[in-house]
Amino acid sequence: VSLEVLEEMHKLELCFPVLAERYRLIDKIGEGTFSTVYKAAAVDGTVVLGSQMWKSPPLHRSSAAKKPKAKKKNPLVALKQIYVTSSPNRIHNELNLLYMLSGNSHVAPLLDILRYQDQVLAILPYYQHSDFRDFYRDIPVKGIKKYMWELLQGLEFVHSKGIIHRDLKPTNFLYDPFKGKGVLVDFGLAEKVSLPLSSRSSNACPCLSKERSSANKAQSKRLNIKAAYPKADQRPPRRANRAGTRGFRAPEVLFKCTNQTTKIDIWSAGIIGLSLLARKFPLFNSPDDIDALVEILIVFGVDKMQKCAELHGCGLELSAPLIQKTTFNGNLVKFLSYCLNHEERNGCLPPDSVIYDTVKFLDEDSGKLVKPIVDENEADVKIRESQRLEMEN
């Protein structure tokens, strides 16, 4: 433990008097935008509520008496210090969802909450895990299956409670490749699904009414008619929750579909799975939503992405035939073999490389290196809202 971390922990103990009475800070294990996470041990006499949920078998007095020499270890916990700069609503939301989700072995349960003035600490069991970057290159296929199984088990439970995680990525799924066990953490961006049950079974995006959806279908046939795009469009842009992390956002999030469902987590889980199979992390990396759509499009193909756009009430217009040429067209075998044949880069590619390397790779014969720069003004790729089309008609 570095001196800097020791000082930081000492400072926390000083300004949080109840903390040291119950927990002994051991190390800092994570630091994000909204929180810092510490490893700690409960001090003697501290009853860690719900500790039987993750310690099995529970320690009974009788069994302890039989083995007097075996010293009982104080339970290890993770203390998540939620920054005071987070809004009270945000803190409440995270703690409330954690509380609702306690009781499943694939989701880290909330054991306790400590509050002192404006500071809040969430207490979770400590889970031994490995950094994704240490195993994604050589975890065997059997291991990938187990990883995905554990992840999807966790998601199934979260979704059964009507909760969308919204920020699924390797750092929020603590996996121990030696034990083959994983738990979901970090519900800081999670939210309850706000959908009426009836629209969930429908295949179309719930942000479209039935009429709009079929109208959109008819109109999307005219996607390539450029004149249909109004020149100086004054209407405000579409707004939707885009919370999450670059590279893991589902197309409907990027299309700014308003009623997003638990399926956005399944997309992120799929990206993690593809990343493991391709031995490439991060797989997608663009911070810009339109660039992010192009990254997805290159792998999954133009047709699928246009269908997807249509489903979410958008039109996706590609004026550059280049993108058609460079796409793997949804042929994942082709995509994977491309990735696996570029191992010399040590698996980890620089930002945007999935797009740019692909373009370079496939356009060499023409001798022209053209990047699919997706600038709305340059009109290489345009995302149009169905309303825009509707206005034209």
Number of residues that bind Mg ion (CB under 5 A): 2
Among 37, 95, 253, 381, binds ligand ADP (CB under 6 A): 37
Residue 80, binding choice from ligand ADP, Mg ion, none, Cβ under 5 to 8 Å by partner class: ligand ADP
Residue 349: name its binding partner from ligand ADP, Mg ion, none (Cβ under 5 to 8 Å by kind): none
Nearer to Mg ion, 186 or 310 (CB): 186
Residues forming a β-bridge with 115: 120
Q: Examine residue 172 and tell whether it contacts ligand ADP (CB under 6 A).
A: yes
Give the x/- contact pattern for Mg ion in 156-185, rule: CB under 5 A.
----------------x-------------
Answer yes or no: are the C-beta atoms of 147 and 139 closer than 8 Å: yes
Backbone angles phi, psi at 28, to 5 degrees: -95, 130
Measured from the CB of residue 382, what is the shortest distance to Mg ion in angstroms?
34
d(CA 153, CA 175): 13
Element (H, E) at 160: helix 141-160
Phi, psi (degrees; rounded to nearest 5) at 76: -90, 140
297 binds, among ligand ADP, Mg ion, none (CB under 5 to 8 A by kind): none
Give the residue at shortest CB distance from Mg ion. 186
Taking the CA of residue 291 as centre, how many other CA atoms within 13 Å lie in the half-sphere pointing to its CB? 16
H or E segment and range at residue 368: none
* Shortest distance in whole angstroms from residue 244 CB to Mg ion: 11
Choice among 167, 186, 291, 380 that is catalytic: 167
- What residue has token string 């750092």? 171
CB of 153 to Mg ion, least distance (A): 19
| Cα dist from 354 to 283, 348, 360, whole Å | 7, 11, 10
Can you tell me which residue has the tokens 């009507």?
Answer: 162
Report d(CA 354, CA 349) in Å as an integer: 8
Burial track 212-249 (b if 16+ CB lie within 10 A, e otherwise) = bbebbeebbeebeeeebbeeeeeeeebebbebbbbbbb
| Binding partner selected for residue 29 from ligand ADP, Mg ion, none, CB under the kind-specific 5 to 8 Å limit | ligand ADP
Q: CB under 6 A: which stretch of 142-150, 167-175, 292-300, 339-347 binds ligand ADP?
A: 167-175
Residue 39 CB coordination number (10 Å): 17
Contacts of 296 (CB under 8 A, 6+ apart): 251, 254, 284, 305
CB of residue 181 to ligand ADP, shortest distance in Å = 12
Closest approach, Cβ 276 to ligand ADP, in A, equals 17
> Which of residues 191 and 352 has its CB atom nearest to ligand ADP in the complex?
191
Q: Which of residues 174-233 bind ligand ADP (CB under 6 A)?
A: 174, 185-186, 188
Amino acid residing at 200 = R
Given a contact cutoff of 8 angstroms between Cβ atoms, the answer to whether 33 and 189 are in contact is no
As a whole number of Å, the CA-based R_g of the chain is 24
- Cα(67)–Cα(348) distance, rounded to whole angstroms? 49
User: 381-392 burial by CB neighbour count: b if 16+ within 10 A, else e?
Assistant: bbbbbbebbeee
Least distance between Mg ion and beta carbon 171 (Å): 5
Q: Can you tell me which of 35, 81, 93, 386 binds ligand ADP, judged by CB under 6 A?
A: 35
Among 91, 108, 293, 309, binds ligand ADP (CB under 6 A): 108
> Nearer to Mg ion by C-beta: 75 or 170?
170
Determine if 326 is a binding residue for Mg ion (CB under 5 A). Answer: no
Site for ligand ADP contains 124 (CB under 6 A):
yes
Q: Given the complex with Mg ion, which of 186 and 380 has the nearer CB atom?
A: 186
Q: If binding is defined by CB under 6 A, does position 103 make contact with ligand ADP? A: no
Verify whether residue 167 is a known catalytic residue: yes
Diameter over CA atoms, the chain: 84
State yes or no: residue 53 binds ligand ADP (CB under 6 A).
no
Which active-site residues does the annotation give? 167
In the complex, the residues that contact Mg ion under the rule CB under 5 A are 172, 186
In the complex, the residues that contact ligand ADP under the rule CB under 6 A are 29-30, 32, 34-35, 37, 78, 80, 108, 124-127, 171-172, 174, 185-186, 188
